[in-house]
Amino acid sequence: MLEEALKKFEEMKELATLSRPGKQLGARKMSAREMCQKLMDPGTFVEVNMLVKHRCTDFGMENKGALGDGVITGYGNVMGRTVFVYAQDYSVLGGSLGLAQAKKIWNIMDMAARAGAPIVGLCDSAGARIQEGTDALAGYGGIFLRNTRYSGVVPQITAIMGICAGGAVYSPAITDFIYVVKDACMFITGPAVVKEVMGQEVTMEQLGGAEVQSKISGNAHFLVDSPEECLKQIRKLLTYIPQNNREKPAPIDSREVLYPDQDIADLVPDDSREPLNVYKVIKAIVDNGEFYEVQQHYAPNIVMGFAHMAGQSIGILANQPQFLAGVLDCNSSDKAARFVRFCDAFNIPLVTFVDVPGYLPGTQEEHKGIIRHGAKLLYAYSEATVPKITIIMRKAYGGAYIGMCSKHLGADLILSWPTAEIAVMGPEGAVNVIFKKDIASSSNPEETRQRLIKEYRDKFANPYDACFKHHVDDVIEPNETRSRIISALGILRDKKENVIWRKHGNIPL
């Protein structure tokens, strides 16, 4: 009896794991099961719900499909830490989502939440399985609900491995980070529907290709060359984040830390109007010069990502003066605010580098809603209770100075370089407003204007007025930056902050 049962089991297992190569799978090089195994440490992947099968009998569906119903689910270890995963299989009904597939994904997400471990979704799906009607829609609804309920509870990471359409792209949008392979696409409606409804001819790449999602829409956080590179990068990301919201990121072995020896003062241009390359500053300060950037190709006027300092994981945000002079605009505010909230949810200290001339003016930004978009960053920093350390490098003007984690938004420590300029606006603009009548009535308006600009610059083109008023805690030499940040991270390690109870806030949209 046992022998027969084992034989039947082996037959079912072989059927479930049967490779179904085809045109779509061939283009992807790895099967869904192979991707799960490749993500995990060797020999640790355990598959769950391998024998699930859909129950749809409409439109000849009783003769279609396969065991597993187009998704591989399971768990394993990544560098010794538990991680849960699901990977859609495009070779089974185009990876389309029916109720059975959805329930497998629900189950693995619930297991991840109960275990307090990250969940990784490897997505490759044509969207809802049309033959299943409202069951398919219910399946997506259950996934969206779990994405939302577990947001800020366990890290959720998604990778777009192929062509994802319709409901298949909304779940990734709710998760914390999205990777997209360069030949993959994601869109709500494909080119055929766009042509039918809008009369527009467009290719899949033009509509929702990897570069579009990484550089234009900002939907994707990471653009990678191949599935293999994608899995490698996901493993890298996991080294910076904790298992869940009750833990802090695991420190790396401090014996592996190499201290940068770059003279930071050499990186600062003598003329404050010349752009500073903030990448060079960041890499001269963090451990081993390693900075794991998030959304590198989108809104490059602000830079953000993860690094280690003395082995401790931190989130970094920095204005990048080499793009749009480092101003804040709609896109950079959205980008930064969400990153701040992720770090706060998962106990990752925030270090902010400031060199910002203000918010981007003009009708285009005003009409896009710079008021509400800019307010997101104010909200995110104000809400965050993790350690917040701010370095004012050079310009810090107006509302953007406040928005880049100033003392007024609850920063724990504000350090300033001697090159900092902290004021409502730049000297030229301020003088034109304050002394408009004096300049106009002067016998030599330009000479008067230049004299007043110099007086304004002498007062505010340094951090000392802000120090006198307790808006800045200390002025430091640029080369002290690393040691002072590490010191602050040490004293703030067990920071506690009492906040008024509330169900949740209402962030500007």
Assess whether 265 carries a catalytic annotation.
Answer: no
Q: From the candidates 167, 208, 218, 426, which is the catalytic residue?
A: 167
User: Closest Cα partner for 122 from 160, 148, 83?
Assistant: 160
Q: From the candidates 133, 152, 399, 410, which is the catalytic residue?
A: 399
Assess whether 369 carries a catalytic annotation.
Answer: no
Rounded-to-integer distance, Cα 150 and Cα 360, Å:
35
Residue 218 to residues 125, 210, 294, 408, 478, Cα–Cα distance (Å): 21, 10, 11, 29, 33
Q: From the candidates 76, 166, 208, 315, which is the catalytic residue?
A: 166
- Pair of tokens at residue 258: 């190499």
Encoded amino acid at 5, one letter: A
Rounded-to-integer distance, Cα 154 and Cα 115, Å:
9
Assess whether 127 carries a catalytic annotation.
Answer: no
Assess whether 166 carries a catalytic annotation.
Answer: yes
Rounded-to-integer distance, Cα 256 and Cα 416, Å:
29
Number of helices (H), then strands (E), in the chain: 20, 17
Q: Which residues pair with 315 in a beta bridge?
A: 306, 350
Q: From the candidates 159, 336, 400, 461, which is the catalytic residue?
A: 400
User: Closest Cα partner for 281 from 342, 388, 335, 354?
Assistant: 354
Rounded-to-integer distance, Cα 265 and Cα 418, Å:
11
Q: Is 462 exposed, middle or buried (0-12, 13-18, 19+ CB in 10 A)?
A: middle
- Pair of tokens at residue 119: 């969940």
Q: Is 411 exposed, middle or buried (0-12, 13-18, 19+ CB in 10 A)?
A: buried
Catalytic residues: 166-167, 399-400
